[in-house]
Amino acid sequence: MTCSNDWLHLLQFESMECEELLLEADKWLAEVEKKFPKRNFTATVVNLEGVSVLVTRYIQALNPPEEVLAGGEVCVSVMS
């Protein structure tokens, strides 16, 4: 039995990203899902307006902890 993917367009949201960028994101997803099949990945999310955007729009740099900036000793413990 063969299935048609005609219904896939119903699952997609309007996007503020250009189509070329979304196609590249889909390619990236296919590559990493093949390489790491047990992990969950996403390239787009739906914002509060119901529009699909790249998840990287929500990633921003964080300042390092004050202890690091002040030259204090930072202790990292590893749980086994």
Question: 74 lies in a domain?
Answer: no
pLDDT tens sequence for the chain (80 residues): 444 445 444 456 678 888 888 889 999 999 999 999 999 999 988 889 888 889 999 999 988 888 888 775 655 555 54
pLDDT at position 36 is 97
Got the DSSP string for 34-74?
A: HH-TTS---SEEE-TTS-EEEGGGG----PPPHHHHTT---
Question: 29 lies in a domain?
Answer: yes
pLDDT at position 47 is 87
> What is the DSSP-derived secondary structure letter of residue 11?
G
Domain that holds residue 40: 10-59
pLDDT at position 7 is 42
Total domains in the chain come to 1
